[in-house]
Amino acid sequence: MFVGHYGVAFAVKTERNKIPLWVLFVAVQLLDFLWAPFVLLGIEKVRFVPGITATNALDLYYMPYTHSLIGALFWSAVAFAIYKIGWRNIASSSAALLVGFAVFSHWLLDLIVHRPDLPIYDDTLKVGFGLWNYRAIEFGLEIGILLFGAVLYLKRNGAIANPIVIFQRCQSRIFRCWPRSKSGHSKAEIKRFAYV
Ligand SMILES: [Zn+2]
């Protein structure tokens, strides 16, 4: 999943919990933000296999540290601790828990769309419901989650901003790196993808 994660960030943000929206944006994508440098450093692995899913060519065959269930729980706990310590002036325990949940939501949403490449622990017991193989449904789900979160956020905060504009901003950033080529990709392309 790509832009759909941001819907959770919008949905979680309230005036009461006082969590900065940018913190939630980072939280919901933390696993991917870690994944990119891990791939660049060769700690986790990805290759491009054209046609592996209907939506993209990512064969995410080794990512035990960022996208295993245990890994996701670990990073959620780290985010909880960092938020609790770093924002101790405004962070209640429940707000820190919400930040931890935002991190973990990434794994739950990835579980819906990924092919079975998400390990439960280490590199074993891989799960994934494979919605990436149903392009229109997957795209609809992403947009649906994003809009649901954005509308909730706007209603709560009485903002004037248009949810469509918010979506377009998120989308233009994320989809720029969507793998397009049907042919094989070089290592340099994989690196460039991970950077973005
Ligand atoms: Zn991910």
Query: How confident is the model over 137-161, as pLDDT tens digits?
Result: 999 999 999 999 999 999 887 764 5
Of 186, 187, 27, whose CA–CA distance to 106 is shortest?
A: 27
Q: Judge if 92 and 24 occupy the same domain.
A: yes
Q: How many distinct structural domains can be found in the chain?
A: 2
Q: Are residues 151 and 167 in the same domain?
A: no
pLDDT at 181 over 60: no
Q: Kindly state whether residues 129 and 182 are assigned to the same domain.
A: no
Proportion of the chain above pLDDT 90, given as a percent:
64
Q: Is the pLDDT of residue 165 over 60?
A: no
Task: Determine phi and psi for 61, rounding to 5 degrees.
Answer: -85, -10
Task: Answer yes or no: do 52 and 111 share one domain.
Answer: yes
What's the domain range around 177? 163-195
Instruction: Please tell me whether residue 136 adopts helix, strand or coil conformation.
Output: helix
Q: 160 CA to middle of ligand 1, Å?
A: 31
- pLDDT for res 193: 53
Q: Residue 63 Cα, ligand 1 centroid: separation in angstroms?
A: 10
Sign of the torsion angle spanned by Cα atoms 147, 148, 149, 155:
positive
Q: Please state whether the predicted TM-score (pTM) of the whole model is above 0.75.
A: yes
In this predicted structure, what is the pLDDT of residue 26?
96
pLDDT in tens, 21-55: 999 999 999 999 999 999 999 999 999 999 999 98
Interval between CA 48 and ligand 1 midpoint (Å): 16
What residues pack around ion ligand 1 (CB closer than 5 A)?
A: 32, 110
Residues 32 and 82 in one domain: yes
Determine the distance separating the centroid of ligand 1 and the alpha carbon of 116, expressed in angstroms: 13
Residue 31 CA to ligand 1 center (angstroms) comes to: 6
Does one domain contain both 52 and 125?
yes
Q: What is the pLDDT of residues 67-101, one digit of tens each?
A: 999 999 999 999 999 999 888 777 788 899 999 99
Residue 167 has pLDDT above 80, yes or no: no
Same domain, residue pair 140 and 170: no
Same domain, 25 and 71: yes
Please indicate whether residue 177 or residue 28 has the higher confidence score (pLDDT).
28
Residues 179 and 82 in one domain: no
What b/e readout covers 71-90, taking b as 16+ CB neighbours within 10 angstroms? Answer: bbeebbeebbebbbeebeee
Range in 119-128, 134-143, 160-169 with the lowest mean pLDDT: 160-169
Q: Is 180 a residue whose pLDDT tops 60?
A: no
